[in-house]
Structure 1
Amino acid sequence: MWAVFQRLANISKSQSFFLFGARGVGKSTLLDHFFMPTERVLFDLLDFELSNELASYPNNLLKRLTPHHGKTPWVVIDEVQKVPQLLDLVHKLIKEKSFKFALTGSSARKLKRGSANLLAGRAFVYHLFPLTVSELEDQFSLDDALKYGTLPQIFELESNSDKAGFLKAYTETYLKEEIITEQIVRNLPPFRRFLDVAAQMNTKVINYSNIAKDILSDPKTVSGYYDILEDTLLGIRLPAYHTSIRKQQKKASKFYLFDTGIARTLAGQVDYDLIPKSFEYGQLFEGFIINELYRRLTYMNKQFKLSFLRVQEDMEIDLIIERGKSAPTLIEIKSADKVDERHAKGLLTLGRDFKSSKQYLISNDPHKKQFSQVLALPWKEAIELIIGD
């Protein structure tokens, strides 16, 4: 069923490229349909024997490619972080214009940590995420997306119990086991505890000291664990807004897990109903909107910055989007199905300091409304308008 989804990743065949994305987002499936079978040779490093061979003898890649020279223009290497030492040879082959390479990875961390050759600008970098609303089209359901997320395999499963089972298997086999197998985390018990707490803290401001106490660790280790989640593409940090980068770095960030289904599973909620208008529903809706906007903006292949602004507990702007020299876009997210001026309080108060900014209140309210400088829109219409700005 994955083939029916028209992915938004705008990949060019003009140059070699990396395609990064968490496990299960459909990288291999996308490339299977991106290349004709006759125009690429595939090396899947999830194959234990192959990855072991190439880790021990990287030059064997050259031997394996020799019969394809001049016949097959593209080489696809799946999960290249498994054997990062291959990149030196890949770099050489690209310089010699022997082949073009499509390199997928579910972690840039191991490549960075091993000081791997990231091809010095000779390869474009693309990202792939769980499915967006526009990719799902008429298969999209907000309630299902909030309950089970939008990883492609979810849409191959019919029963809710199967969907929950898949998500539990994903969190156990990948998030909690494979991360240590990859030697990203050497001491698993505190990391397991961290994942549980990180799920509870999803969409909230990170308090490293409090989390450290909860998992019997220290703030530096907790910060490192969040780095791991970012580097393995399992979530994004949302920094606090400040015009000074130096001062921004000193402020606490928020963190958003990359998929609502994974967030619910880590929080121990995936087997239970999601209650509309509940606190959990509101959190998941905010995470869903933030992730949807982040994915759509990333797919446009244009530079942007995301942040949030909070001056006190009940006074904040959920999302600030900065794009080039354009005035910023300010966004407040509410899951309510009927909004009024009270829901726009943060924008109405703090938004005055952002001259010429566009300000949106995004919600489940089906009606378009105007509160002073704030335009309130149904969430789907708002996303399309913001992306098109």
Structure 2
Amino acid sequence: MLLYIMIISNMMVDRHHFIPRLVSLEKLLAGKSHFLFGPRQTGKTWLINKELAHCRIYNLLRSETFALLSREPQRIRQEVGSSEQFVVIDEIQRLPQLLNEVQLLIEERGLRFLLTGSSARKLRRGGTNLLGGRARVSYLHPFVMKELGERFHLQRALSWGLLPSIYLSTAPAEDLQAYVGLYLAEEIAAEAAVRNIPAFSRFLTVAALCNGRLINYAAIASDAQVAASTVRQYFFLLRDTLIGWPLPCLGTTVKRKPLSTDKFYFFDVGVVRHLQGGGALRLGAPGTGEAFETFLHHELRSFCSYRGRGSLHYWRSRSGFEVDFILDERVAIEVKAKRNVSARDLRGLRALREEKLLEHYLVVSLEENERRVDGLHILPWRRFLDDLWDGRWEV
């Protein structure tokens, strides 16, 4: 069942939009308790208020709720009635000690919990084990094209990203600036994640400029004026706070030896473009290629996440041949933000095809019509995404 949520925030957003999401909280809780993680403003709280408004909800962003449960975590056990089946704790990372009460209620009374948060870092740091298998973990991502339907506009997505409150905003540039400031203030400074906020802020800018590239810790450390060991810690922090994800290299090729270095992609093209100093983007202008690739990375990662299985890699040989994405070790995907894909653009796919490992070799582009060249499949981006979400490339 598709969920319909109204995106409302303190930002300047059109309040009349109802957008279907692919995550169903009822389905998540049908089998087991769940952690639902996602970056800030992906819509977790509004999903809760829309679908689970009839349940008991503890929102730890409310100061009075936070203060009360900080003093008396056992209040949850005392307040939950015997007839209740589901309980929601929003922003659970703010009070990791509540997981002891949650575990007791799961074991003794069979309750199912939805535990949401923008980071699992504090939960792990506090010595908790995410309930030792008593709850599954799912993620909520920014919008994908399938959710937006006719409301999706590629140029807007590449310019401002797909965070719901920003994609629908009437002032996306100002709201992106506020979002990055909120991340530094609440995810990093308030949680004491790092001691040197100016150094982390410099790193964040340099890391954004390296988005979608091989991670070179020494070069980033030099540009950000911090130690290489600190850069490694900062990258772990980006992943823990769900701001970005490493992309490993496919290592099974034989004829051409692959690299072993990860790439790194930020979770949202609008956020990374803001950190890079970008603004509104015209298709074909400088920066279109990287933005288009980051957008497709988001769609592919979200697809793997929402179906609950699958893998995503890139491939690059030591001799320099490269393919942007490998889905499920079956589908090779080269991304080209071009209206006319040339023979030169197919070199990486042809080199990888010599390994005879994969089933499909695709180029996703800005071309308007589908075509085949020497067995390689050139697809318009919208057709590729429609096929992806319809399951064409699944086993």
- TM-score w.r.t. the length of structure 1 is 0.90
What residue number does 1:204 align with?
213
What residue number does 2:119 align with?
107
2:21 aligned with 1:4 = no
Query: What displacement does 1:250 show?
Result: 8.3
AA partner of residue 43 (structure 1): Y
AA partner of residue 384 (structure 1): D
Distance 1:228 1:234 in 2: 9
What residue number does 2:61 align with?
46
Which residue, out of 267, 290, 305, partners 1:283? 290
| SS of residue paired to 1:237 | strand
2:82 aligned with 1:70 = yes
What residue number does 1:23 align with?
40
| SS of residue paired to 2:324 | strand
AA partner of residue 200 (structure 1): L
What residue number does 1:224 align with?
233
Distance 2:258 2:179 in 1: 32
Report percent identity of matched pairs: 37
Query: What displacement does 1:98 show?
Result: 4.9
Query: What displacement does 1:176 show?
Result: 5.0
AA partner of residue 180 (structure 2): T
Q: Which runs of 4+ in 1 moved over 3 A?
A: 175-178
Q: CA RMSD in A?
A: 2.1
Query: What displacement does 1:373 show?
Result: 2.8
What residue number does 2:99 align with?
87
Aligned partners of 2:315 and 2:324 also within 8 Å:
yes
2:15 aligned with 1:13 = no
Which residue, out of 265, 270, 273, partners 1:261? 270
Distance 1:237 1:249, change over 3 A: farther
2:144 aligned with 1:137 = no
Distance 1:124 1:228 in 2: 22
Query: What displacement does 1:175 show?
Result: 3.4
Distance 1:255 1:50 in 2: 37
Distance 1:112 1:356 in 2: 37
| SS of residue paired to 2:29 | coil
Aligned partners of 2:259 and 2:316 also within 8 Å:
no
Distance 2:258 2:92 in 1: 31
Stretch of structure 1 that moved more, 227-236 or 7-16: 7-16
AA partner of residue 152 (structure 1): P
| SS of residue paired to 1:110 | helix
Aligned partners of 2:155 and 2:282 also within 8 Å:
no
Which residue, out of 181, 191, 199, partners 2:190? 181
Aligned partners of 2:250 and 2:258 also within 8 Å:
no
- Which is helix-richer, 1 or 2? 1
What residue number does 1:353 align with?
355
Distance 1:58 1:222, change over 3 A: same
Query: What displacement does 1:47 show?
Result: 1.7
Aligned partners of 2:159 and 2:270 also within 8 Å:
yes
AA partner of residue 251 (structure 1): S
- TM-score w.r.t. the length of structure 2 is 0.89
AA partner of residue 193 (structure 1): R
What residue number does 1:252 align with?
261
AA partner of residue 34 (structure 2): F
Q: After superposition, what is the alpha-carbon deviation per residue over 1:88-144, rounded to whole angstroms, capped at 9, x for unaligned?
A: 110110011252211101001111111114112221221100000010111110000
What residue number does 1:190 align with?
199
Distance 1:249 1:236 in 2: 20
Query: What displacement does 1:318 show?
Result: 0.5
AA partner of residue 310 (structure 1): R
Query: What displacement does 1:358 show?
Result: 0.9
AA partner of residue 58 (structure 2): F
AA partner of residue 298 (structure 2): N
| SS of residue paired to 2:20 | coil
Aligned partners of 1:24 and 1:151 also within 8 Å:
yes
Distance 2:247 2:325 in 1: 9
Aligned partners of 1:260 and 1:288 also within 8 Å:
yes
2:324 aligned with 1:318 = yes
- Note the residue ranges of structure 2 that are not aligned, 5 or more in a row: 1-5, 8-16
Distance 1:330 1:100 in 2: 40
Distance 1:188 1:356 in 2: 45
Distance 1:217 1:249, change over 3 A: farther
What residue number does 1:148 align with?
160
Aligned partners of 1:93 and 1:99 also within 8 Å:
yes
- Note the residue ranges of structure 1 that are not aligned, 5 or more in a row: none
Distance 1:354 1:220, change over 3 A: farther
Query: What displacement does 1:313 show?
Result: 7.9
Aligned partners of 1:363 and 1:378 also within 8 Å:
yes
Query: What displacement does 1:315 show?
Result: 2.2
Query: What displacement does 1:215 show?
Result: 1.4
| SS of residue paired to 2:283 | coil
How many residue pairs end up in the alignment?
371
| SS of residue paired to 2:137 | strand
What residue number does 1:296 align with?
303
What residue number does 2:13 align with?
none
Distance 2:358 2:129 in 1: 43
Aligned partners of 1:88 and 1:117 also within 8 Å:
no
Distance 2:22 2:153 in 1: 19
